[in-house]
Structure 1
Amino acid sequence: MRAAGLHDIATLLNSQAVLIRNRHPSNPTLVNLITSRIKGVIAASRYVLCNYNVERQNLSTVVKITPGRQAPTVSTLDSHDGWVAVSAMVESKDIARVMDELEGAGATDIIVFSMSNCRADRKRDLARLDEDSADLAFLQTNLDKMAGLTEKMVGMLGSFDDRLVNLEASILPIHKSTQRLTHLADNIDKTLKAVDNIVTYLDLVNKEERFITKGPDQENILPYLKAMARIKDALEYLEGKKLKACEKVMGQMVRYLGTIRMKDAEDLFLDTRQLLKAGMLHLETLFRKWLTAASEPIDPHVFVRDNDTPTMSSMYLQNLSQLSQYIFSSESEIGYAVDFTKPYIDIRSVFLVKTLQPMSQASMLIERNPGSHYERGSSGFLKYMDCAVKMFKAESNLAAKLLPNPTHRLVGFRGAIQPALTELVGMGRQINASIRRSGTHAEIFMLFDVLDEYGREIRELFDEVLRTAQKKEDEVQDLINAFSATAVRSFVEFLDEAKGKKDKDAALSTDGTVAEVASGTLNYLKRLLDWQDIVEVILLTLGDGNWSTTTLTGVPELLSLSAPARNPNAGPAIVKHYISDVLDTLVVTLTLRSKSYKRAALGSIFLLNNFNHIAKQLRSPSLSAAADEDMQAKFSKLVRKQIDNYQESWKPCVENLMDVTYVKGGALKTSLGNSDKQLIKEKFKNFNTEFEDMWRAQKSYAMPDAELRNQVLRGVKQVLLPLYSRFIDKYQSMDFTKNPAKYIKYDKDQLERMVNQFFEPSA
């Protein structure tokens, strides 16, 4: 069909063939034949031919897998008993699945072919087969030619083999002689190089003499260290060779160093390790210079302000570290040990002392300003301690870098910090003694601050520093224990002060205002709560209630604070107990002092002012947390009691306004006898005298609390004014005297104005 120019089979597969007219009506068989062949081609394009081998016992199973368009062709395999070969048609779209199923059913040698029943295709295949046969014939001819050439080449190679055997027998003796000569030449070269190396070492003295004796350049020490290394290598090499010619050179090395006496040749060889001593001395001197230059005192306030750690200049640190490491590593090789301990201690101890000196001086301000109000964190000594421990920690890091020898490092670090540590502890002892001598409690809060901060942060740093220094005596902890003893002692002392022992001879205030002992006690208690954490620890160390039974002589000079209580309520409870005991003691002290006033009213005013001040302070935020309701109620009750006592002092005055109304014959008695008139005059006179005396005295009394003053005067007026009003209303219309103004000096409003002038010094 292709030869006839018809469409491709692929096109036909997608076309609908319609027979329009038979060109040969007389021969319908040809048309049917063509149509049948076209149908066969179309049908065959959807199928492939699948050939496989299978055991006969599985034949029925696999035949069901490949039913095909026609029944499969089955033939027996002679080479395998019980096996058959099967050829079946399978649709192209199912071939993948069918192959998997066949393999699962035991089929082998599965081969798939495309199908074609086109004669043109078979003709083309036959033509291609003819071409392939011709190619094979040509290749066979060439192969025969190559076989002949190969046979000739084998003969030639055999001839070459024989010739090479003869050549080897001739050249082998020559080769062995050449190897011996080559080895001899190599030995000569190595010997020449070794001799040249020895000559170089022998000449090294003359080359390096001037450079070594001059000393290192401070700006660039590396060339000097390299020269030292070259000399060290030369000495080790010459010593290892033990050549007689080396003795003279070693003598020259020792001589130019200028530090070793010339010796006999036999002794010089034993002392060759002294060769580098001069160079090492130069390096030691350079180390001192660099360390001194890098140890200029610095301003400690800078890194305290920036919360930084003091460090050495990176340039100096790098140079000193490299230099010390080189010297340390060279000690065992040279046999000369350089001990930097003493210069390190001398230089760095002065640096630490001078750097910390401003802090030390600032911490003494407490002695120059006794009694000043201390603010948390303002302690110069606290900053001094913080600065010192940071510098000690930095010094530990520096010693680790500059002193590679562990023994030298320990001794150097310990010696460097000791003078500064001694001065720190000495200053702390001076401050502690100053606080104990001061007799006031303003400075004790500085100790609370120091103890609090030391326990929070500084102690851990000091412990680390002292462990590094391996110090057996802990001077810092002894100082803290002395501070702790003073702090514990202060609670016992303050309770004594609340008893009034310290200022028992102090003059009482003339106006009954709040006593200094009361205001001072409350201020002290409020400030205690600012450091409640450390106060709890101190009181727990003292023991609950022991502040009342312990004497000052019973407190040791050194006292270690107890650990915080495991019970979280123990600390606040002991603080409340101490405050309660102090206030109870203060009440007793104030009550005793009030009895020193000649006027009972002034004593009542004195207690009223003090108890009211205490009650208000206990309700303030600063003390309310430590004062429970019972304590507040207790002082409120004391205030009410003193108000009642004060009103009782008005009794002599108010009694004059009390009288008896007489009734005669069922009617009020309106006529007065001489005795009645005289009695009324006496009552007015006595009232005026008592009131005026109280007015003159009590208008100068003090009652700073306006609310309390109004409450007290309101109570007075509620009793006095109604009685006085009734009294004058009753008698001013009676003819008890010819001169009423002499006895009735004040009306009700005037009396009230005068009462309002009580406790007003400016009235």
Structure 2
Amino acid sequence: MVAQRNAAFAEESAEVEVLLASLGKTKDLTKKIAASLARLDASGQIVNDAIGPIYGNTKQLQVTSRNIDRVNEAIEKLRQPLDARGREENIIRQGPKSAGLPQYLAALKRVDKALTDLNSSGLRSNQQAISEFHNLLLTGVNQLNDLYRKMLQEDANSIEPLHFITKQIPFPSVAQDKAQTLGQISMAIASAGAHSARLGQRDDDVAARMYAEIRGDYINNSLQNLSMASISTSKRRNTDTTIYREGSSGVGAYAKALESMFLAEAENTSRIFRNDGGRVFGMTCSKALSTFARTLSELNSFIKSRLLTDCFLAYEILDLVTPLSYRLDSRTGQLRSQFADALRPLRETARSSFSDLLTQTRRQAETVSTLPPDGNTIPLVSESAKRLQTLANFDRPLLVLLSSIGDGNWKGPSSSAGLASQSSLNLELTPSAENPNLLSHYLLDLVDTLLGTLNTRSQTIHPKKSMQGIFQLNSAAVLARAVQSSPDLARYIGISPHNERLEKFRKRATELYMTSWREASMHLFDTIHTSGSRPMSGQGPGQAIDSTSIIKSLGSKDKDKIKEKFKVFNTSFDELVVRHKGLHMENEVRSYISREITALIEPLYARFWDRYHEVDKGKGKVVKYSKGELSGMLATL
């Protein structure tokens, strides 16, 4: 065991000696490497000190070389426009016609670019050249302006819009190739104008203003006759009290021509001015729009002076022009606010007209001093009926106007200050937003105002209730006939529950007229008391009444009472028939009242006659009418 342990120690000692020997060699090698690195650093420093100045000089030479190249390039650029001045001047002096428009525009473009380059150089030595180039550019642009103006004036002769409207011909526009040429010219003018503006001389909007002036005059002059026609066809003599008839004014043709010409012009400006077409289009249409606004203002003054008969013209204009402005806005993106401004006075007049119509209708009815002695109605009623029908014809603008006012608010006095806040009233409301009951309520308020005021006047002027009743029935009948003959009006006040308003007037008037007939019918009621049991009217539904038996059962006083009743009734009936036939009644009133009278008198008289006609034993002194004769008399009513 001891021998084995010694052998292991000996082996480990040998390995340690080997490691120590290797470590010594590594130290020697490390010292040699360190000495070599020190020598290499010294050599590198020597090389750097020698080559560093040479590298710096080379780099500076490269920068200098590049700067020289740039200077040469700048000099070359500066020389190019100066060298080209003679060539461009020769082309420009020739003019666009002689040199040819493409070559002429190219020359102007090159002069324009030369000016840009010279201005960007900032060299004082170039100021003379800049001035010369600018003068050359002005000369070219002036010639271009003349050409531009002449080309625009070739299509600027005024036209007759009605010719295109009636024959449904598209309104003329600038030809495509010409529009392209005008677009190129306008761009050249605008670019040259930008340089002039920087020099404080001119601006870059010359082409747009020139176009707007020439084309604007063309549109305005073409529409001038329609403007005057709109006024002349709308104005009437003061003695003419007829209600305005839809379409009788020339403003409809004026609006249609205005829209068509504007759309044609929008096509022109979009092709000539591209992205700036909308602005130029607005400039071009401004003169025609100003004339249109003045025309509407004059029409508005006329309408306000004849509101009862001509407020409908205001509704018609709103119904025509407001949708027109929305169509133009959707196609061009322009003019909507200008149209709104032009319509504002008319819109305010239209909104105030509702309360004014009520007020003037009441005033006219209150000032009635006489009424026909035969119960006939008066012209105010038929005029009002026509007014109701016409109002219903303009239901679309009226519904929107009434929506802006609010249900029932038309009963108060109109206020311009209050209406101004709604001056941008929209006529494009969706159907769900429109409330037809508003128009029904307003029309019924007009009916109430008219009939209520006239009924009050009738009570003052007509002494008898029957005369009051027949006058009111005739007035209500005229209005009811207007409703029945107009589908538009019937849609608003001819349906339940709105039709109940007129029916109430008719029932009250019927009660008044039937008062005297009811008084006469009272004589046909008997209060005879017989001695013993009262005679039967008959033994069954099919058996006749025995008048002889009834008369025999009566005492002398009761017989005298029956005779007196017959006499009084005969007198009253004859007087009522004569008076009835002397009254004026509308056809429907006569038929209706005749039925009412027959329904009241005939059954009562038949009963009374059946029971008591034998009181004069067929002599006809007391019983003047048989049942058949009375029915015949009633039939003549």
Q: TM-score, normalised by structure 1?
A: 0.55
CA distance in 2, matches of 1:307, 1:598: 67
- Correspondence 1:757 to 2:636: yes
CA distance in 1, matches of 2:430, 2:128: 75
CA distance in 1, matches of 2:553, 2:274: 119
Q: Answer yes or no: is the 8 Å Cα contact 2:189–2:207 preserved in 1.
A: no
Deviates more, 1:343-352 or 1:715-724: 715-724
Q: Answer yes or no: is the 8 Å Cα contact 2:190–2:207 preserved in 1.
A: no
Query: In structure 1, the residue corresponding to 2:235 is in which secondary structure?
Result: helix
- For residue 586 of structure 2, the aligned residue among 699, 703, 706 is 703
How much does 1:500 deviate?
5.2
CA deviations over 1:414-455 (Å, ceiling 9, x no partner): 5543322111001111112211111314x3333334334444
- Correspondence 1:349 to 2:349: no
Other-structure match for 1:381? 251
CA distance in 2, matches of 1:570, 1:721: 55
Amino acid at match of 2:515: E
Other-structure match for 2:399? 536
Q: Answer yes or no: is the 8 Å Cα contact 1:399–1:413 preserved in 2.
A: yes
Other-structure match for 1:289? 150
- Correspondence 1:438 to 2:438: no
Other-structure match for 2:173? 311
- For residue 592 of structure 1, the aligned residue among 456, 474, 496 is 456
What is the 5 A alignment of 1:636-675?
Answer: 636=503, 638-654=505-521, 668=552
CA distance in 1, matches of 2:445, 2:301: 28
How much does 1:600 deviate?
1.8
CA deviations over 1:115-154 (Å, ceiling 9, x no partner): xxxxxxxxxxxxxxxxxxxxxxxxxxxxxxxxxxxxxxxx
Q: Answer yes or no: is the 8 Å Cα contact 2:259–2:328 preserved in 1.
A: yes
Q: Answer yes or no: is the 8 Å Cα contact 1:615–1:632 preserved in 2.
A: no
How much does 1:699 deviate?
1.1
Deviates more, 1:610-619 or 1:578-587: 610-619
Amino acid at match of 1:591: N
Q: Answer yes or no: is the 8 Å Cα contact 1:295–1:351 preserved in 2.
A: yes
- For residue 469 of structure 2, the aligned residue among 604, 612, 627 is 604
Q: Answer yes or no: is the 8 Å Cα contact 2:408–2:442 preserved in 1.
A: yes
Q: Answer yes or no: is the 8 Å Cα contact 2:355–2:414 preserved in 1.
A: yes
- Correspondence 1:694 to 2:586: no
With over 3 angstroms needed to count, the CA separation of the structure-2 counterparts of 1:379 and 1:290, relative to structure 1, is same
Q: Answer yes or no: is the 8 Å Cα contact 1:485–1:556 preserved in 2.
A: yes
Amino acid at match of 1:604: G
How much does 1:281 deviate?
3.4
Amino acid at match of 1:320: L
CA deviations over 1:29-83 (Å, ceiling 9, x no partner): xxxxxxxxxxxxxxxxxxxxxxxxxxxxxxxxxxxxxxxxxxxxxxxxxxxxxxx
Query: In structure 2, the residue corresponding to 1:440 is in which secondary structure?
Result: helix
With over 3 angstroms needed to count, the CA separation of the structure-2 counterparts of 1:697 and 1:557, relative to structure 1, is farther
Q: Name the one with the larger strand percent.
A: 1
Q: What is the RMSD of the two structures over their aligned residues, measured on CA atoms?
A: 5.1
How much does 1:362 deviate?
2.9
Q: Answer yes or no: is the 8 Å Cα contact 1:512–1:602 preserved in 2.
A: yes
How much does 1:602 deviate?
2.0
- For residue 161 of structure 2, the aligned residue among 300, 317, 323 is 300
What is the 5 A alignment of 1:603-642?
Answer: 603-611=468-476, 622-623=488-489, 625-627=491-493, 629-633=496-500, 635-636=502-503, 638-642=505-509
Quick check: which has more Rg, 1 or 2? 1
Q: Answer yes or no: is the 8 Å Cα contact 1:605–1:703 preserved in 2.
A: no
CA distance in 2, matches of 1:583, 1:498: 10
**Could you list the runs of 5+ residues in structure 1 that have no partner in the other structure?**
1-196, 242-265, 759-763
What is the 5 A alignment of 1:305-704?
Answer: 306=168, 308=170, 310-314=172-176, 316-328=178-190, 339-340=206-207, 343-364=210-231, 365-368=233-236, 380-399=250-269, 401-402=271-272, 415-441=283-309, 443-459=310-326, 461=328, 474-499=337-362, 501=364, 504-505=367-368, 507-513=370-376, 516-551=379-414, 556=419, 559-560=422-423, 568=432, 571-595=435-459, 596-611=461-476, 622-623=488-489, 625-627=491-493, 629-633=496-500, 635-636=502-503, 638-654=505-521, 668=552, 687=569, 689-701=571-583, 702-704=585-587
How much does 1:297 deviate?
1.0
Other-structure match for 1:53? none
CA deviations over 1:385-438 (Å, ceiling 9, x no partner): 3432443454355345556896xx888655543322111001111112211111
With over 3 angstroms needed to count, the CA separation of the structure-2 counterparts of 1:363 and 1:444, relative to structure 1, is same
Amino acid at match of 1:391: M
With over 3 angstroms needed to count, the CA separation of the structure-2 counterparts of 1:691 and 1:433, relative to structure 1, is same
With over 3 angstroms needed to count, the CA separation of the structure-2 counterparts of 1:317 and 1:659, relative to structure 1, is same
Amino acid at match of 2:285: I
How much does 1:492 deviate?
1.0
Higher relative contact order (CA 8 A, sep 6+): 2
Give the number of equivalent residue pairs: 517
How much does 1:592 deviate?
1.4
How much does 1:746 deviate?
5.7
Amino acid at match of 1:696: V
- For residue 599 of structure 2, the aligned residue among 699, 715, 724 is 715
Deviates more, 1:305-314 or 1:334-343: 334-343
With over 3 angstroms needed to count, the CA separation of the structure-2 counterparts of 1:558 and 1:350, relative to structure 1, is farther
Amino acid at match of 1:312: V
Other-structure match for 1:135? none
CA deviations over 1:245-278 (Å, ceiling 9, x no partner): xxxxxxxxxxxxxxxxxxxxx9799625534655
How much does 1:348 deviate?
2.4
Amino-acid identity (%): 22
How much does 1:512 deviate?
3.0
Q: Answer yes or no: is the 8 Å Cα contact 1:283–1:323 preserved in 2.
A: yes
With over 3 angstroms needed to count, the CA separation of the structure-2 counterparts of 1:502 and 1:387, relative to structure 1, is farther
How much does 1:323 deviate?
3.6
Amino acid at match of 1:367: K
How much does 1:633 deviate?
4.4
CA distance in 2, matches of 1:606, 1:638: 11
Q: Name the one with the larger helix percent.
A: 2
CA deviations over 1:3-46 (Å, ceiling 9, x no partner): xxxxxxxxxxxxxxxxxxxxxxxxxxxxxxxxxxxxxxxxxxxx
Other-structure match for 1:244? none
Q: Answer yes or no: is the 8 Å Cα contact 2:365–2:453 preserved in 1.
A: no
CA distance in 2, matches of 1:235, 1:326: 9
Q: Answer yes or no: is the 8 Å Cα contact 1:451–1:484 preserved in 2.
A: yes
CA deviations over 1:327-354 (Å, ceiling 9, x no partner): 4456679999783456434422321211
Q: Answer yes or no: is the 8 Å Cα contact 1:345–1:415 preserved in 2.
A: yes
Query: In structure 2, the residue corresponding to 1:311 is in which secondary structure?
Result: coil
Query: In structure 1, the residue corresponding to 2:100 is in which secondary structure?
Result: helix
